[in-house]
Amino acid sequence: MPSIQGRESRSALSSRIPVDDWGLSPFRAAVESKDVERVIETLAPDIVFRSPAVFSPYSGRETVATLLRAVDMVLAPNLVYQWQVQEDDREVLCFTSRVGKREIEGVDILRYDDAGQVAELVVMMRPLSGLRTVSDGVGAQLEAARS
């Protein structure tokens, strides 16, 4: 498999994770393109989103899309994927980002359905102060969208 800087992959390619010639899933490619609408297109209609910032999961493409648009404004501008692992119907994408003065490190844990769409997305981040900064920023974006 080809390798370019920042896109090394130790992938076990799977029919449930569609990938391009570089081993990138449509989800990763969309995030890296900074096109949130393209990210939303990769989601299954019944996607479930989980995060340590919220107790209950978000369910359904439209609900998760609203959340991801807010996340896009806060976390995505400086987000860079560092590595990925793919196996069967799972993908883990490790990222770094900066929000304000906070350095963030995290992972996107994805599960794909039989159609190759993201059925489950779990986002974990560290440090706690960074998670709080992201959570506060996303909350402010969601509130502004409601107004």
φ, ψ for residue 92, nearest 5 deg: -120, 125
pTM of the full structure: 0.86
Domain-embedded: residue 104: yes
Domain-embedded: residue 1: no
- Look up the CATH number of the domain holding residue 91: 3.10.450.50
> Taking the chain, what is the end-to-end CA distance rounded to the nearest angstrom?
48
> Cis before residue 127, ω within 30 degrees of 0?
yes
Domain-embedded: residue 4: no
Q: Are 94 and 101 in contact (CB under 8 A)?
A: no
Domain-embedded: residue 84: yes
> Which residues neighbour 132 within 8 Å (Cβ) at sequence distance 6 or greater?
none
Domain-embedded: residue 134: yes
3 has pLDDT over 50: no
Domain-embedded: residue 3: no
For the segment 58-109, what is each residue's pLDDT rounded down to a tens digit?
999 999 999 999 999 999 999 999 999 999 999 999 999 999 999 999 999 9
Q: How many domains does the chain have?
A: 1
The boundaries of the domain holding residue 33 are: 9-146
Q: Are 61 and 45 in contact (CB under 8 A)?
A: yes
Token duo for residue 38: 């393209």
Domain-embedded: residue 35: yes
